[in-house]
Structure 1
Amino acid sequence: MGRRRAFDEDEVVRAAVGLFGGRAYDGVSVDDLVTHLGVHRNSLYKTFGSKRGLYLVALRRHLAEDVRPLAEALAAVPDAATALRLVTSADLGLLLLAAVERAPADEEVAAEVAAGLAAVDQAIAGALGVPTALAAALTAAALGLLLRGDPDGARSALTRRLEPLD
C-alpha cells in the first residue's frame, strides 16, 4: 500500500501556474518547483511525470480558469474598445510566455496556445460581428500591449482610436 499524498494537487497546480506565468518554463528549475510548491521531488515526478508534465497541467489550468472565462466575457462585449480593455487587464502571463517560449519548440504546447487564442478571437469576432481575422488582429494588438507593459499609455490611445470603429 502506497503512502498518502502529502500535498493538495489542486493547490500545487495553481501555484505552478503562477510560477511558470511569472518566470517561464526555462526560468523554473525542478529545484524551484520543489522549493516553491512544497512538493518533494519524488512526489512531483510520481504525480506529474516530469517538469513538462506539470507545466502542461498548469497551462491547461490557466486556459480553463483564466483564458476561457475571458473568452466568455469577450463574447458579450459591445465594442472593440471594451474588448481591448478586457484583454489587456486579464492575467495572461502564462499564455504569453507559452506562446513565445514553448510553443515554437513543443507541438503540444503550441496546440494549447492556438486553441486558447482561437477562443479569444472567435469570441471577439462573434460579439463584434467582424471576421475572425480582424478579431485576431485586435487580440494581437492587445497581447502586444500586455507584452510591452503599456509604457506610454498606448492602451488608452488605441482604445480612443477604436471607439469610432464601433
Structure 2
Amino acid sequence: MGRPRAFDEAEVVMAAAGLFAGRAYDGISVDDLVSELGVHRNSLYKVFGSKRGLYLAALRWHLEHQVRPLLAKVSAAPDPAQALRDTLTANDANSDLDLLLMAAVERAPADPEVAEEIARALRDFDAAVELALGGAAIGDGAPAELAYTLVATILGLRLRSRTSAGNGGAGPVLFDHLRQPRP
C-alpha cells in the first residue's frame, strides 16, 4: 500500500489552471509546476501522468467551474442581454476567460483533445450569446451568425486587453488605439 497523497488534487488542478491562464502551456515548465504548486515531481506524474495530463485536467476544470457558470448565469437571467453586458464588464469574468483564450490560440491548433474541449466551450458560448440576443438579427444575419461574430469579438477584445495589461499598471486599455491620432 502506497503513502497517502500529501496534496489535494482539486486544489492543485485549480491552481494549475491559474498558472496556465497566466503564462500558457509552453510558458510553464514541470519545474515551475513542482515549485509553484508544491507538489513533488513523482506525485505530479503519478496522479496526472504528465504536464499535458495536468493541463487537460486544469482546462476541463476551468471550463466547468469558470466558463460554463458564466454562460449559465447569462442564459438563466430574466434579461440575458443585460446579464451578458454585466458579465463581460466585470473584471473577474474577464479573467475567467483567460485559460479558454490561451488554450484556443496556443494548444488547440496542436492538440486535438484540447481543440475539442475548446470547440465545445465556444459552441456553449455561442448558444448563450444567441439566447442573450433574443433571436434578434441585424440585417440579413441569422441570430446564430451574429452570436458567432459577437463571441469572436468578445474573446478578441479580451485577448487584446491582456496584451495591454503591461501599460504601467493602468489596467486594460481596450480602445486606446482608437483615441490615438494616426500618423
2:20·2:99 contact (CA, 8 Å) conserved in 1?
Answer: yes
The 5 Å alignment of 1:17-166 reads: 17-75=17-75, 76=77, 78=79, 80=81, 82-87=83-88, 89=90, 90=93, 91-130=96-135, 131-149=143-161, 151-153=173-175
The total of aligned residue pairs comes to: 154
Moved more, 62-71 or 129-138: 129-138
Seen in structure 2, the aligned counterparts of structure 1 residues 139 and 88 have a Cα distance that, compared at 3 Å, is farther
| Residue type of the alignment partner of 1:53 | G
TM-score, with length taken from structure 2: 0.78
Letter in 2 for 1:34: V
Deviation at 1:126, TM superposition (A): 2.1
Paired amino acid for 1:151: V
Give how far 1:79 is off.
6.0
Distance in 2 (alpha carbons) for counterparts of 1:109 and 1:43: 23
TM-score (norm 1): 0.86
Deviation, structure 1 residue 43: 0.2
Q: Cα RMSD between the aligned structures?
A: 1.7
State the alpha-carbon separation in 1 of the partners of residues 129 and 51 from structure 2.
34
Name the SS for the 1:39 alignment partner.
coil
Where do 5+ consecutive residues of structure 1 fail to align? Answer: 155-166
Rate the CA distance shift 1:152–1:68 in 2: closer, same or farther, 3 A.
closer
2:43, 2:5 → 1: CA distance? 8
Per mean C-alpha deviation after superposition, the further-off stretch among 75-84 and 47-56 is 75-84
